[in-house]
Amino acid sequence: MTKSFYPPLRTLMGPGPSDVSPRVLAAMARPTIGHLDPEFIRMMDEVKQMLQYAFKTDSPLTMPISAPGSAGMEACFVNLVEPGDKVIVCQNGVFGGRMKENVERFGGIAIMVEDEWGKPVDPAKVESAFAANSDVKILAFVHAETSTGVLSDAKRLCQIARDNDALSIVDAVTSLGGSELDVAGWGIDAVYSGTQKCLSCPPGISPISFSERAVEAIEKRQSKTPSWFLDQKLVMGYWGGGAKRAYHHTAPVNSLYAFHESLVMLEEEGLENAWARHRHHHDALRVGLEAMGIGFLVDEPYRLPQLNSVFVPEGIDEAKVRSQLLANYNLEIGAGLGALAGKVWRIGLMGSACNKQNVLLCLSALENTLSGMGADIAKGQALPAAEAFYAE
């Protein structure tokens, strides 16, 4: 007979999911109630209000999609892209490519602006793409590219879109709660994220927000939104304000308890404090890795504090290192993707996993493992360097 599943206790320092706070896990175990229960609806209103705080927007069309971050991406594209629409898509990693897929699947025309993996989106290339193409409806780009750990200038890119009378769709899956993100202040029209990165919550929920300009575009659609489940005009009947809600789907009740608790924790810490915490522990990790002799893929001004792509020392089997870290230390780090496979590791410092204990564990475990494989690294330097940083 099959027995109950009990997962091992890991320290998750990969590209996501990240460690889930015990408070959030405990929230999931609370009694399930109906998704139209008055108390659940009251909690929904609190989720919406706290999510507006996290995104820095007062847009009423701000809510969690009852599915992972990929569904949040699809919700933005399926509601805004119509057949024949021209969409400038910026690709500097894996997830820009997924944006292109969405545009084309919904009948749009993707105009690609490509940058080297590990480099931010080049605003000059975006301006040139607008100049070379008339009637562009949307600019789509990834704010924090999870495949490389690079941060692009969302504020400037969204301004370029507005200057050209275009909407913007922004992937903030890895930036929400970990890096500065100002949806209203930067003029972002559609944004999506995930719960499993810097919000210390299990995967399965995708926060989204649409601006007034985006809502107007949705309402003026010439064609029916291809997805019934993700049609925001329908979903708003359930997630709109007030006590009276129209049934749309059975919400993942306990997962939303968890999301609510993660947003409570973000409010308690303070948004700017959360950004600063991610930067602080990143700097400690950086000091330790550099002392060991391990370099970063991304130039420092564009480096994501919560997702660190670092080069694998020459002659080292990166998959074997990850396997030993998991077996010997219960520590998970991520592999490189695409052209970076085998060349980099992706070390996450997200949400609850972003703390001093994990930074020191990662440095110690990595040094011990690499030393055992005969890697050309400086031994005995990483931990003292990080400890000195923390002592400053």
Does residue 299 form part of some domain?
yes
Does residue 3 form part of some domain?
no
Q: Are residues 278 and 227 in the same domain?
A: no
pLDDT band at 210 (very low <50, low <70, confident <90, very high): very high
Does residue 322 form part of some domain?
yes
* pLDDT at residue number 241: 63
On the question of pLDDT at 243 being above 70, the answer is no
Q: Are residues 249 and 382 in the same domain?
A: no
Q: Are residues 169 and 205 in the same domain?
A: yes
pLDDT band at 237 (very low <50, low <70, confident <90, very high): confident
Query: Which pLDDT tens digit goes with each residue over 86-137?
Result: 999 999 999 999 999 999 999 999 999 999 999 999 999 999 999 999 999 9
Mean pLDDT calculated for residue range 136-161? 98
Does residue 31 form part of some domain?
yes
Distance CA 24, CA 200 (A): 8
Q: Are residues 332 and 245 in the same domain?
A: no
Q: For a pLDDT cut of 90, what percent of the chain falls above it? A: 94
Q: Are residues 244 and 164 in the same domain?
A: yes
Query: Which pLDDT tens digit goes with each residue over 326-337?
Result: 999 999 999 999
Q: Are residues 299 and 352 in the same domain?
A: yes
What's the CATH number where 38 sits? 3.40.640.10
Does residue 357 form part of some domain?
yes
Domain residues for 280?
A: 271-391
- Mean pLDDT over each residue of the chain, to the nearest integer: 96
Query: Which pLDDT tens digit goes with each residue over 272-314?
Result: 999 999 999 999 999 999 999 999 999 999 999 999 999 999 9
* pLDDT at residue number 298: 98
Q: Are residues 280 and 373 in the same domain?
A: yes
Do 50 and 271 contact (CB within 8 A), yes or no? no
Does residue 16 form part of some domain?
no
